[in-house]
Structure formats: structure tokens, C-alpha cells
Structure 1
Amino acid sequence: MTDQNIPSTRGAVDLSALAHQGSEATQSAPAAAASWTTNLDQGAFEQFVGMSQQVPAIVSLGSPRVQVSVDLDATLRKLVDAKGGKFILGLVDAETYPQIAQAFQAQQIPMVVALIKGQPVPLFQGPAAEEQIVQVFAQLEQLAVQQGMSGTAPAFSGEAQQGEPELPPLHQKAVDAIDAGDYAAAEAAYLEALNEKPNDKDAQIGVYQVRLLSRTHNLDLAKSRDKAAQNPDDIAAQLDVADLDVVGGHVEDAFGRLVSLISRLADEDRERVRRRLIELYAVIGNNDPRVAASRQKLARVLF
């Protein structure tokens, strides 16, 4: 799988020309359980693009004649449907409908792209392990929150099952605050949960995630990168770009930037950057292979 790059939607390919050729979406075969996965043809595309105004709309360009693509679609379907409407998934036979693949400038299949408010956000090409897709989806969900997208879409088929287990009250309070864009209130709720239960790992990760969203909410990517490039020893500038890279899916770039910065620092400055890096490790997931690789590099720098 290629790097899970989830860039800004600025300057993305305009899909409006293809979208306006359409009719209603073709629903996938009905199933007992609710499904947010649908088969797309050229005529179905308009409605699907329109739904990306409310929730991230994921497009899988593949072929039922390619086993890698079939396996990938099965994993995507499972993970998207488990989101209960936070994402939708459109499956495209790129050989039958090459116009859709061309609209995404696909060079190979399988290729997976998300649509955020009508604009494409490349996710990955080629096969992908389930745990890697989970990480990509987590980053995509953060991007959706930044874009003010916190609703759910109706299922394409089947009937909704009983909802996910209820969150603990303070966790639900934090999620509600995130949906409202009130990151300070969300952090306060997670911290209160930690005060009640110090070993609440989900609350601790929640704190780190909310802080990341809060720090990057008003940052301009181009300006931040330019400032960091011109001031390589400006710690705040380097931390800003690392945060933006994590939110944008450039995880290895973010980790590499901070490890390199730590190698040039000492004492309190070094510890400040190290703590930020540890927080970002937790956001991505300590079992992620990119975290493990970065930890080894960090250890070499520190010791």
C-alpha cells in the first residue's frame, strides 16, 4: 500500500462534469443488516457525489475480475458498514465504467479515493491490510470533523441494527462537543473521565486527538510549511507542520520531522518535542508499524 496520504482538498480535481451526467444511485442487493455500500455506475455518480456534502464518500475503483480488488472491497464494505453511516462506500467496476476511473486520474486498480464535499482525497492504491485501512479511516474521520461533517447517512439497503454500545457519559459529552466544534469542552470532558478513572486509555487518547484537532483547526497548511522551511530551528513552526502532516495522513513525514528536530535540541526543548511526538504516537496507535519504526529512530537519537 502506498503512504496513506490524506491531503487538503484544495486544488483537487473537479468531478462536477462527470457528476452531472447522472441519475439516482444504484442500490446494492438488499441485505438483512443495514449497508452503507452501493455499486456505482456512471449514472449513479451524481447522487453519490452529492452525499459527500454530509459524510465522507469513499470510492473503490476496481474490478470483480481481479481477486485483490474483490478482497479489498470486502474489507472496505465491512469497515464502512461498521461505521453506521459515518462513511458511505461506492464500488466501481473501472473496466466497465472507465469514465469514472479517468475522472479520478486512476493509474492502476484497485484505487481508493474519498470525496469530501465533492472534492477527491486520495487514500491508497493497491492491496491494503485491514489494520492499515482502519488507520486511514481514522485520519479521514478527523479530516471530516475539521470540515464540519459530523452527521450520518441513511443506509443504501437493509435495516439498521441496534446502535453501538453507548459511550460512557463523559465520553459521549466529549464526542458531542467535538461534533459542535468545541474542542475545549471536549478536552475538559475527557480529562474529567481520566480524573475518575486514571487508567482510561480511550479518554487519554481522546485528549490527545482533541488537542491535535484544536491545534490544527485554524492553521494554514501552505503558510505553516513555508514558515517551517524558512525557520528550521523554530520549534513551534516545526510542531505545527508535524501536526498538519498527521491530520493530512503524512504520518511518516511528521514523525521524521520531529525525530530530526529532537536530534538538534537539548534539555527542556528536547523534552517538549519528545512529549509531542509521544502524543502523536498515541493518536496514530502504538501498534501501528510506523510508530514502531519511529520509536526505534527516536531511541537512537536519545540514547
Structure 2
Amino acid sequence: MSTPNNPAQRPGGPAAPDRFASRAVDLGALKEASEQRQRAAERTREEAASGQKIPRSAVVTAESFEQDLVVRSTQVAVILLLGSPRAEGCDEMSAEFTRLAEAQDENGQPVQWVFREVNVDTTPEIAQALQVQQVPTVLALAAGRPLTNFEGVQPAEQIGQFVDAVVRTVEGRLPGLPESDGDAGNGDGDAAGTASTDGASDADPRFDAAAELLEEGDYRGAVSVYDRIISESASDEENGAETAAEARSARVTALLLERTADGNADEIDELLLAGEREQAFDTLIEQIRTTAGDERTAARDRLLEIFAMYDAGDPGVIDARTRMASALF
């Protein structure tokens, strides 16, 4: 039995899974992030106008894939179970995820995640698109991208821990379901209004400007915008730290897109784009430790180049610098 890639076990929360994220990252899709947000906003307005409650658990089809997974994950976390009635334990896991998802309406708090399920027998194209290799597979999504995953049957206790860790990771980072989703899902009016307002204010014009530059392929211009956001955030005592952190993360993505604009992303680029920074560090440090000559020098120079992309005080960078020094000397 596989053990969940439990986000709670990692200091930094869930990381993108090696297999899903590193192979599924598409540079073209990243450049279309701005367009995706616009589509998501339009769908959200349509849902708000309809006044219908969004299901806390549902089966995904090829027709509902974009709305129920990609768009929905820009609002709240989506936990997806890819299973089959023929596979032992899938029905039990589905029932537990469904119970937990629907229980959110009972505590009067905003809904923070939804459960979606794919039957790989009837919709194999979705399983193929996600490169599923084992049934059941559970994948958590946020902002249209993978957060973490696990394979194999897990007991109810582990499922609950997995859900809790995903919720903690996305808390405060997604706008929430449309305000009209229902009094049942979003608690009192103030809570619902807060979620909606935060989602609207998420469209910080500075970030929108950077996103437009990314879409146009002006990566250097986007980096300049993010640099300005980081600088201006220093005077914002209330939200400055969070805004700066978001800008630093986006800045790294812009630099990576600039580097890989020709479509020739190597293993290290893919790891970084997938959010697997520590694994990228480990890979290069191991190359320094086990190679010599030009190959060793290239690994060192690449590592220094990556360090320069991040804040010098980043604990992960400081740790990697220390390990690089040990490998070199």
C-alpha cells in the first residue's frame, strides 16, 4: 500500500508531486495564466448569477473537466479521486471524501475544498491526460495546478489528515466559491462577503499588469513589475509580507519562463516550474559531489544562477548554499 504524500509532513506544505508536476508542466499553459483567470472570473460570474449551489462532491466527465477541475481549483482546492468500481477500496475512499466534503456545510464556515471523482473505466481520456499509473490515485489541485498526490488505498484517518493538510496550505490563497453558492456553504453573510471580496481584490492591478506582460512574452518586463511590488511591499505593515512572498514566487516563474522561452526546458527547469525546488537543489548538489571537471563546474554555476533568483535570506537557499560548499570542499 502506498503512503500518502502527506503535506503535513513537509515544513513548506504540499509540494507538486514529482511525476504529475514535472512531466505535466506546460510552458504554453503557464503563459496563458492570465487568460485562464479571465475565464475563471467569467464562469464565476455566471455561477453567481445562477444562484445554484455548487456540489461539494461530483463525478467529472470529459465535458465538465475544465469547469469542475481547472476553473473550480481557482476558487477552492479540488481533491480528485481517479478510481474504478473494479478496484478494491475505491468505493470506500469515495464515500469518505464525500462525507468530509459535504460536512463543511454543517460548521457554518466557508467551503474550502470540493471533492471530484473520475471513473477511469468510463472516462479513460482524463486518466491518460493526468498520466495516472495506479488506481486509485488521489490528486489535490489549486489554482489550476497540482499540489500533491498519493496512490493506493488509504484508511479514513489518513484521508482526513490529507484533507486537513491541503486545506491548511491553500488557506487565504484562493477566493472561495461564488457568493451566491448558498448560505449553507458560506456561513453568515459577512463570511461569504469576505471570501468574495478577497477574491475580487486578488486582481491586484500590479499583478494583472505583470500577467499581461507574461502573456505577451515580455518576461523581463514582468520581472521588473514584480521587483517593484516587492520594494513597495516593505511599507505595507498589514499585507506586505504576504504580497512580497507572492511576488517573489511569481518573479521566479517569470525568470524560468524567460530562460525556457525556446521550449527547451531541462530536468532542473521542470523541477523548478513544478515547485520542486529542493529536489532541484539536491540534484545539482549531487552532481557537484559525484562529477569532476567541466560537468562539476556547470552544476555549480547552474546552482549559483538559481540561488540568484531567490531572496538571499530564504532558509532553503541558505541551507542549499551550505550543502553546496560541503560538496565543493
- 1:60 paired residue number: 81
Q: Which has the higher contact order (CA 8 A, sep 6+)?
A: 2
* Pair 1:90–1:136, CA change in 2 (3 A): same
| Partner Cα separation in structure 2 for residue 131 and residue 276 of structure 1 | 34
Opposite residue 327 of structure 2, the aligned amino acid is V
DSSP-derived class of the 2:122 partner = helix
Q: CA deviation at 1:188?
A: 1.0
Alignment of 1:164-179 (within 5 A): 164=195, 172-179=204-211
- 2:32 paired residue number: none
| Partner Cα separation in structure 2 for residue 280 and residue 65 of structure 1 | 48
Q: CA deviation at 1:91?
A: 1.9
* Pair 1:188–1:53, CA change in 2 (3 A): same
Cα RMSD after superposing both structures: 5.6
Unaligned 5+ segments in structure 2 are: 6-16, 28-52, 84-88, 105-109, 187-191, 215-221, 290-295
Q: How many residues align?
A: 237
Q: CA deviation at 1:260?
A: 4.2
- 1:254 paired residue number: 280
Q: CA deviation at 1:176?
A: 3.7
| Partner Cα separation in structure 2 for residue 116 and residue 275 of structure 1 | 26
* Pair 1:68–1:51, CA change in 2 (3 A): closer
Opposite residue 63 of structure 2, the aligned amino acid is E
Q: Give the fraction of aligned pairs with identical amino acids, expressed as a percent.
A: 13
| Partner Cα separation in structure 2 for residue 204 and residue 302 of structure 1 | 33
| Partner Cα separation in structure 1 for residue 194 and residue 274 of structure 2 | 30
DSSP-derived class of the 1:223 partner = coil
Q: CA deviation at 1:181?
A: 4.5
Q: Does 1:104 align with 2:122?
A: no
- 1:235 paired residue number: none
DSSP-derived class of the 2:246 partner = helix
- 2:242 paired residue number: 202
Q: CA deviation at 1:39?
A: 1.0
* Pair 1:246–1:191, CA change in 2 (3 A): same
Unaligned 5+ segments in structure 1 are: 11-33, 84-88, 142-149, 226-240
| Partner Cα separation in structure 2 for residue 254 and residue 68 of structure 1 | 34
Q: Does 1:158 align with 2:158?
A: no
Select 2:112's aligned residue among 78, 82, 101. Answer: 82
Tell me if the contact between 1:112 and 1:123 (Cα under 8 Å) persists in the aligned partners. yes
Tell me if the contact between 2:56 and 2:98 (Cα under 8 Å) persists in the aligned partners. no
| Partner Cα separation in structure 2 for residue 41 and residue 224 of structure 1 | 32
DSSP-derived class of the 1:46 partner = coil
Opposite residue 58 of structure 2, the aligned amino acid is N
* Pair 1:186–1:265, CA change in 2 (3 A): same
Tell me if the contact between 1:52 and 1:115 (Cα under 8 Å) persists in the aligned partners. no
